[in-house]
Amino acid sequence: MELLLSQIEKGLDAHLYHLSLFVALCIPDICGALESESGTADSQKYKAWVDQYLVKARPDKYGDRLSAEHIWQFRCALLHQGRTKHGKGEYKRILFFEPGIETGIHGLHCCVVGAKTEDKSLMIDLRQFCTDIIAGAKTWLANNWKNKKCAANYQRFITRHPKGVSPVLGCPVIG
């Protein structure tokens, strides 16, 4: 898990924003699956994780503008259709602005724009969001590392094998 979180950060540093955002949106699914009896993810586990480790953990950053349902809808739209708008929801779209922009909106995070129009959207600082997901995942890991279900499910977690794994030896593989 630490490698995956580290790669989100490296993606941000390398300006690979799509990759970092896509992976960050998968973290609540992974954590929810790891701590579950079945070892599988679902919308309720996802939203519970987002609510606990992102929204409620950082009310000063997200307040009532961003809910677990908003993130779930955005995640579904982005990961499954490559879109920023789900069929439901109060925002026309959720927009993530790239780090280091010089447009005068630098420093804003989780800001509603066009509130009284049909284009009402939520703008989120991409680096801040990904960093908050990473922080939530680290807190989640600290809280769940010794959980028997988590430990059992983690045995099947994707990992890098720098020297290979049977039947492919001598060549780095991920699996």
160-161 vs 168-169, strand pairing mode:
unpaired
Please state, for a pLDDT cut of 90, what percent of the chain lies above it: 47
In whole angstroms, what is the distance from residue 55 CA to residue 70 CA?
11
Q: Return d(Cα 72, Cα 93) in angstroms, integer.
A: 13
pLDDT greater at residue 100 or residue 136: 136
pLDDT at position 147: 86
Q: Could you tell me what percent of the chain has a pLDDT over 70? A: 95
In this prediction, residue 103 carries a pLDDT of 57
Predicted confidence at residue 106, as pLDDT, reads 55
Amino acid at the residue 12? L
Q: State the pTM of this model.
A: 0.88
Measured CA to CA, the distance from residue 160 to residue 21 in angstroms comes to: 21
